[in-house]
């Protein structure tokens, strides 16, 4: 079987995170994984080109804006069977592009302070979570505008500062494609976490239909 061909896309507006450096790190650890070959890009025009040759795209982006052609190219890629993986600030990106957020089913509405919290597995039998355990991370706990009826929830976290529980990972179909969102990923410390990396690997495989 051929390797999954994935693209890690970071855009160019990383103002709160080192998207370029951390995105390169994600592409490198994915490419070190058997069965995955990952490229890295900051070029928006790869979306307008329809992501030809890729099985899945991982967005680790911040702010930004798609042209009509760029957004249409991305959405058509997923509708036709491509995989989309939104990581952390992907939910805070492209805020004026309604089609993008409808596809993702997530829109950033804030986050907790940088703190320790536990991520609980909601579905332990899904291909992305099977065999994994609940884990603790130091990160931002994201609050999302999200329709829970449109996605399957995989993980959640309790924010004791607000006495609220928030979804941390979910997936759903979009046309013939698959969409996975994972809310963690603030800094290099969490990107180096073993549980985080395994979920990212599995998320790429799942979104690519593997």
Write the pLDDT tens digit of every residue in 145-199. 999 999 999 999 999 999 999 999 999 999 999 999 999 999 999 999 999 999 9
φ and ψ of 59, to 5 deg: -100, 120
- Geometric angle at alpha carbon 88, from 85 and 93, rounded to 5°: 85
CATH number at residue 17: 3.40.50.880
pLDDT digits (tens, 9 = 90+) for 46-77: 999 999 999 999 999 988 889 999 999 999 99
pLDDT of residue 63: 82
Domain of 101? 4-207
pLDDT of residue 11: 85
The answer to whether the CB of 163 falls within 8 A of the CB of 157 is: no
pLDDT at 18 > cutoff 90: no
The β-bridge partners of 139 are 115
* CA R_g for the chain: 16
Six token digits for residue 31? 């490419």
Q: What is the pTM of this model?
A: 0.96
pLDDT of residue 1: 60
How many structural domains does the chain have?
1
**Shortest CA distance to 124 belongs to which of 86, 169, 163, 166?**
169
């Amino acid at each position: 079987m051929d390797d999954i061909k994935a693209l890690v896309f970071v855009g160019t507006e990383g103002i709160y995170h080192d998207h370029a450096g951390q995105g390169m790190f994600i592409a490198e650890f994915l490419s070190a994984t058997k069965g995955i070959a990952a490229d890295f890009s900051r070029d928006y025009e790869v979306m307008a080109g329809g992501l030809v040759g890729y099985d899945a795209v991982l967005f680790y982006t911040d702010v930004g804006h798609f042209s009509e052609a760029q957004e249409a190219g991305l959405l058509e890629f997923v509708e036709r069977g491509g995989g989309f993986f939104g990581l952390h600030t992907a939910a805070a990106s492209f805020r004026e592009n309604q089609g993008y957020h409808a596809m993702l089913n997530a829109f950033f509405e804030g986050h907790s302070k940088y703190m320790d919290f536990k991520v609980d597995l909601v579905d332990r039998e899904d291909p992305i979570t099977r065999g994994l355990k609940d884990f603790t991370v130091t990160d931002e706990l994201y609050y999302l505008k999200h329709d829970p009826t449109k996605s399957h929830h995989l993980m959640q976290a309790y924010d004791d500062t607000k006495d609220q529980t928030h979804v941390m990972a979910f997936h759903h179909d979009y046309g013939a494609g698959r969409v996975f969102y994972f809310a963690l990923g603030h800094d290099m410390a969490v990107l180096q976490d073993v549980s985080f990396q395994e979920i990212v690997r599995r998320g790429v495989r799942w979104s690519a239909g593997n």
